[in-house]
Amino acid sequence: MKRVLAFDFGASSGRAILAEYDNRRLTYREVHRFENNPREKDGYFRWDFQNLMDNVRVGLKKAGPIDSLSFDTWGVDFGLLDQDGNLLEDPVHYRDERTAGMVEKAEKILDSDRLYGETGTQIMGINTLFQLLAVKERQPELWAKARRLLFMPDLFTHALCGAAACETTIASTSQILDPRSRSWSAPVLEAFQIPESLFAPLVTSGTVVGEYHGAKVIAAAGHDTQCAVAALPAPEKDAAFLSCGTWSLLGCELDGPVLTRQSRELGLSNEVGANGKINYLKNIIGLWLIQESRRQWRREGQEYSYAQLEQLALEAQPLRSFIDPDAPEFTPPGDIPGRVRDYCRRTGQPVPETVGQVMRCIYESLALKYRFALDQLREVTGKQFTTLHVLGGGTKDGLLCRMTACCIGIPVIAGPIEATALGNILIQLVALGELENIHQGRQMLAATETVTRYEPQEHNSWNESYRFYQKLLSKNQGGI
């Protein structure tokens, strides 16, 4: 029997999942769950790295003897180390405002077509490149001391066992990696005067990079999205996937990157998958809108469970008003319900006043944006998608899954719920020689994991709303 431990960090919580694998039988359970509470410190919005590491050690203690462990996290964020390998400061959160204006400054140095052609990454202010440019401009003393950059999963690995490696899937979120060669883009580094020595050696997903108390420390797929996609249960040839959590990432697997101007203008990204494929996808703000709305109502003295919010949405009038989830005003923390109302008022739509109306607007807008992104993928790849696999926390949201199926007009297959942790576990089992490859692991999950299938219903009733939604995005430049 092999015992492997997967640490899965999300933007609001983290978990340690212990798996046991014996004779092709996989069982797993959560041994530790903890909150991930970023906070303002020294003028920036930061992750509390010491608290997270304390919880890693609690998870290790609860798990007991293990054969291996690995970390996966959100993308783009990093820690900077000095010449002695010490963390210089707590990592800054991607939602911090320090990158404001950095994209525009960068494009004066390297135009967007060239930057996208080198990296294949959707140009977004949160990306690592623009965070680094903010450090250079606003924290020159920190930049002068920095000798090593480690992305978040690699930073946890380093803090635990001292290894310094950069796993490729997490590197592909940075706007610095060339997805064709799977190496750092020399033109990007040169243009922005970033020394390649800042980065740890690149390693592929599933590389053993160190040891902790006899357990192998494995660089699985550091980016949680790629862990989730690794656990896609035996996907059909023309299947699309939606990794649905705080962020939604909707895409498909390709053999190579798409680096055209059309792809850039549509805001599509090429990320390296754990199996060596390219995950060609669209980044969409996801359950963040619901999570932060719930927090706002709590700040106002109104406490709702997610089940209550879903029920209130069900009771509200359908297809009444919509938002673009990716409009810039929805990215920062704060009064999301108020911003939803402002958006609808500004665009001449009925203003959602009640909690249920706001929730209905958010749910339907996500479903419509998923259809919009799916159409963009069809346009570029020529694929005619037959199913959409929903992975991660969003699989538990039956209303969102049903609405998505009805809106896109093809079946939605939701599950497994624990896709991110399961992908992490599968990659570890491949590294330990227990599985031949990720494909074998996917077949095992298809045979053992529970999924829920949602058939499209009342698709025609969504078509008129979708035509309106396309015009709404076009008018408000929300489609890019």
Which residues are catalytic, by number?
A: 224
Whether 212 contacts 162, CB under 8 Å? no
* Selection from 62, 34, 60, 38 nearest residue 49 by Cα: 38
Cα distances from 44 to residues 82, 87, 124, 149, in angstroms, run 20, 16, 19, 18
* Selection from 112, 201, 209, 86 nearest residue 157 by Cα: 209
Whether 227 contacts 424, CB under 8 Å? yes
322: which 2 tokens?
Answer: 């919509």
The two counts, helices (H) then strands (E), for the chain are: 18, 21
Sort strands 452-454 and 278-285 into parallel, antiparallel or unpaired.
Answer: unpaired
| Three-state SS at 252 | strand
Amino acid identity of residue 339, one-letter, is: R
Strands in 166-206 per DSSP E: 166-167, 177-178, 183-184, 202-203
463: which 2 tokens?
Answer: 């078509």
Whether 122 contacts 173, CB under 8 Å? no
Cα distances from 45 to residues 95, 138, 144, 291, in angstroms, run 7, 15, 21, 18
DSSP assignments along 84-97, one per residue: TS-B-SPPBPTTSG
* Separation between Cα atoms, residue 38 and residue 455, nearest integer Å: 39
What is the greatest pairwise CA distance in the chain?
Answer: 62
Cα-based angle 261, 264, 265 (whole degrees, multiple of 5): 85
Who's near 153: CB < 8 A, 6+ residues apart? 9, 70, 71, 72, 73, 167, 170, 219, 222, 223
Cα distances from 426 to residues 170, 431, 436, in angstroms, run 17, 9, 10
* Separation between Cα atoms, residue 294 and residue 36, nearest integer Å: 17
* Separation between Cα atoms, residue 310 and residue 403, nearest integer Å: 12
Amino acid identity of residue 79, one-letter, is: G
Cα distances from 21 to residues 24, 289, 329, in angstroms, run 7, 37, 45
